[in-house]
Structure 1
């Protein structure tokens, strides 16, 4: 079983620990991949099948960050998205998006079978439903669009297996759910050997299009893939084209297990799927309404709402709770491909909008082709990461960033403790100390943990994640431990320490 921070995620706590070495010294491979989540490991596996040598460079532990904190649905049913894609991109490109998701599901099943990865893959229909009359027409429109696009969709009215009535639902057949940490770790185990490597606890601190540097070694390669949630630093400028969002996730045993995977169309959002745990109990993995990273009040409200909703399923005591994070692109489609239109940069994948399992696998399929010189992948018509002006999303993006700015100005620097002594045990705050913005937390023993509140990525003020006890950047999504150490980027440098003890 996992231990330490891993215990916050049900998936990580129910998977065996990985034991890949730290990168030490210098080496050369065909392709270097920064990031050991579903995108990085799948890309590496596909490239090795193509005869390439690869090195995966993971800052922490393989499969245990964003992938290991997801709800882990293998589905092309991404809430209400296809009518949006058709409106913004046209019917042909919306069809390509759906094709990519369906192909990704089959590819995951192929990889798990071929490499004998035990990932608890279970066939399960996926539903998006509504209990609000105002959203019925939206559901009906989504069914019409998805059927025209060739997706396995149907309209359902009445009972869909939930403990309450719904007005309408779209059902996707031939979908699945799985154990994400076991899947990614299992695939990673197949990589080392024949000139290929997987490294853990090896954070990239410097990079070039043909080189990745950590504190203990260097990997040189013909191509570098950034499979890092958001590309590191300021690569490609994606921090300005995708905004972060956080989701509350709770896991609890339930007495009324629904026979599918579900998400509602209206707000607040509620998502649920199940998994049989090692103890034989059926657990619900439920996610709630998203919020801005580091916005503690929204975090509390959304967790409370999710707990109230889950009670409908005869839920037992909550066993796990955590916050997961993803990025929403300006125009609803992920960015996948080259970071530069001149193709002298990095291969990247970001902006999955909380649907990173199928999108992440589709991204790996594209990246592996691009890394081996196969240009012109048809899915790039919708995913192309070099599209200069993302379609019809700028206004919403500006609004999101404006709300972040307003939060920073109005929230953190008013009505807060003014010094460390004013902090109560278990309390966190952003405060001014000797003219500096300081992020401070006093634990239950009275020890104060204080670091610079200025994100090392681009200078935003971080916010407090009460559930995970981390400092999260609301601007670009970097996350930091209490010590200031980076959990995941785009930041690569820690927050400066201010006090110990």
Structure 2
């Protein structure tokens, strides 16, 4: 598997390639959008529908990064979330979160129909269940809160279509699943023309509130939207308020096809949905327990656990496997809106906590309104990107930033080899070479690929992603190819090359 190859994702491998040009020269539009995932492309489509000109600037290829590596559930059922939101934000704000998710599901279906996008949208119930008596009361509470917030929730006991018994489940009706790469790419195809643009292979290397600069061109605009998973650089300080997590994903053929979308309430977490391929094969799209990016031992353990769990569905060998990343917000709600309370910064959206399909679409609906000068969007009462709630997430803030401190001072030199010669083929390590922290991988031919192990975002030490063969930053989630090239930020500069040969 090539380092950073996005076609290890089932969704990307089963979608036609996009062919948008690279940014060149000077472009002027109403709104510039950095990032071509579900947030950026949906925001652009909504703005164009409002009569605005837009330019999407995507560092790699549209729809093929985080969105194209998701499990692709269109659902407001986000495991056990609503009782948490009600406790932290109150009933009225928790209801706004619920309304936003349901509205996002409807908006996705509307956009696909309105623009002729074929994305395998299929209505499907969503379940959060437990097999542990200790979580039954939690499921019952989630149903009670969700119903009070106006969500289509019911309590189910017994059979929910899984190949094993469950004690209780919350079921949401009116949900759906889809093909994420085809959806985003299909919407993107509708954007160019009449003063609007989509640019690929165009990484932002500099930015201002009215300007985006790449190595080959510049976009000037009235507003800049950072639809980049985590805002680039240190914009808004979200790297200290949203913490990266990685999830193992396996796609494998299955004989026992579940009639819904599922996730359990206890740990280890297991999520599953199915997709029927054009050749008639039905695949499980399954995700497992999250882990810290770049922590190889946890990665191996969680992939092994997920593979074992899939045996319940009479699964065949894994056809695809990859690691996806997202960010957990410190107080359980995403950060969406202006990065500065003075509204002289950037429009941002981050911290979707692995529920980026509905949250990403809801974010686009908010951002499009804000970019056109509309203030006071009701959903901002819970999503406001400038909110400060230290009491809601203070303990987690301290814990996560102590972890960051350890990586900054080199406390994560856990790999055993101490020299390039000691590396076995197929092995990677972070080591000290002539006083420098070096990230090295020896491929199957014996060639060593070595780069600086110091993340260019804020100086943490990167860790090895064995599945995707990338270097991932445990502190703030930046990912790098073997060559050191950035896959996604907040970093925008590559890791320095040390040696190849």
Q: Give the structure-2-normalised TM-score.
A: 0.98
Give distance in 1, aligned partners of 2:475 and 2:231: 14
Q: 2:329 maps to what in 1?
A: 329
- After the TM superposition, which residues 442-461 of structure 1 pair with which residues of structure 2 at under 5 Å, given as runs? 442-461=442-461
SS of corresponding position for 1:393: helix
Structure-2 residue corresponding to 1:314: 314
Match in the other structure for 1:498:
498
Shift of 1:6: 2.8
Question: Which structure 1 residue ranges, 5 or more long, are not aligned?
Answer: none
Aligned ranges for residues 401-480 of structure 1 at < 5 Å? 401-406=401-406, 412-413=412-413, 416-480=416-480
Pair 1:385 & 2:380 matched: no
Distance (whole Å) between structure 1 residues aligned to residue 178 and residue 247 of structure 2:
19
| Partner SS, residue 107 of structure 1 | helix
User: Is the CA contact 2:32–2:223 (under 8 Å) kept in the aligned structure 1?
Assistant: yes
Shift of 1:411: 6.3
Matching residue of 1:98: 98
Q: How far apart are residue 463 of structure 1 and its match?
A: 0.3
Corresponding residue number in structure 1 for 2:25 = 25
Distance in 2 separating the partners of 1:4 and 1:335: 27
Q: Displacement of 1:451 after TM fit? A: 0.2
Give the C-alpha shift of residue 4 in structure 1: 8.5
Aligned to 2:230: 230
Map Cα deviations across residues 437-491 of structure 1 (whole Å, 9 max, x no partner): 0000000000000000000000000000000000000000000000000000000
2:486 aligns with 486
Aligned to 1:191: 191
Residue 349 of structure 1: SS of its match in structure 2?
Answer: strand
Distance change in 2, residues 1:414/1:148 (3 Å): closer
**1:269-298 deviation per Cα after TM superposition (whole angstroms, max 9, x unaligned):** 000000001221110000000000000000
| Alpha-carbon separation, structure 2, partners of 1:394 and 1:340 | 21
Distance change (3 Å), C-alpha of 1:17 and 1:414: closer
Alignment check: 8 A CA contact 1:412 1:429 kept: no
User: Does structure 2 conserve the Cα–Cα contact (< 8 Å) formed by 1:331 and 1:392?
Assistant: yes
Shift in alpha-carbon separation, 1:491–1:297, aligned structure 2, 3 A: same
> In the alignment, which residue of structure 2 is the partner of 1:176?
176
Match of 2:355 in 1: 355
Shift of 1:500: 1.4
C-alpha deviation, 1:115, in angstroms: 0.4
Q: Is the 8 A contact 2:455 2:461 kept in 1?
A: yes
User: How far apart in 1 are the matches of 2:201 and 2:406?
Assistant: 36
**In 2: Cα distance, 1:218 partner to 1:170 partner:** 49
Give runs of aligned pairs for residues 100-119 of structure 1, distance below 5 A: 100-119=100-119
| Residue 397 of structure 1, CA deviation | 2.5
SS of residue matched to 2:392 = coil
* 2:253–2:281 CA contact under 8 A, matched in 1: yes
Query: Normalization by structure 1: what TM-score?
Result: 0.98
1:365-421 deviation digits (Å, cap 9, x = unpaired): 000000001100000000000113355111022223334545777864356211100
Q: SS of 1:120's equivalent?
A: coil
Whole-angstrom CA distance in 2 between matches of 1:344 and 1:404 = 29
Q: Distance in 2 between matches of 1:4 and 1:437?
A: 22
2:138 aligned with 1:138? yes
| Distance change (3 Å), C-alpha of 1:141 and 1:201 | same
Deviation at 1:102, TM superposition (A): 0.0
Comparing 268-277 with 389-398, greater Cα deviation is found at 389-398
Q: What is the deviation of 1:135? A: 0.1
The count of corresponding residues between Structure 1 and Structure 2 is 500
Identify the residue that residue 242 of structure 1 maps to in structure 2. 242
RMSD: 1.4
Q: List structure 1 runs of 4+ shifted beyond 2 angstroms.
A: 388-391, 400-415
CA distance in 1, matches of 2:354, 2:394: 20
Residue in structure 2 matched with residue 51 of structure 1 by the alignment: 51
1:29–1:196 contact (8 Å) kept in structure 2: yes
Other-structure match for 1:148:
148
Q: Distance in 1 between matches of 2:181 and 2:330?
A: 29
Residues 314-365 of structure 1 deviation map (CA, whole Å, 9 limit, x = unaligned): 0011000000000001000000000000000000000000000000000000
Query: Could you tell me whether the CA contact under 8 Å between 2:294 and 2:462 is conserved in 1?
Result: yes
Contact 2:415 2:430 in 1 (8 A): no
2:415 and 2:223 map into 1 onto residues whose CA distance is: 50
Q: Is the 8 A contact 2:142 2:170 kept in 1?
A: yes
1:195 to 1:414, Cα distance in 2 relative to 1, 3 A: closer
CA distance in structure 2 between the partners assigned to 1:410 and 1:242 by the alignment: 22
The CA distance in 2 between the partners of 1:499 and 1:406, in whole Å, is 26
Aligned to 1:285: 285
1:254 alignment partner in structure 2: 254
Q: Secondary structure at the match of 1:392?
A: helix
Distance of aligned partners of 1:414 and 1:107 in 2 relative to their CA distance in 1, 3 Å threshold: closer
Q: Secondary structure at the match of 1:267?
A: coil
Greater shift, 273-282 or 174-183, is seen at: 273-282
Give yes or no for the alignment of 1:369 onto 2:362: no
Match of 2:165 in 1: 165
Is the CA contact (8 Å cut-off) linking 2:240 and 2:401 kept in structure 1?
no
Residue 414 to residue 90, structure 1, CA distance change in 2 (3 Å): closer
Q: Secondary structure at the match of 1:204?
A: coil
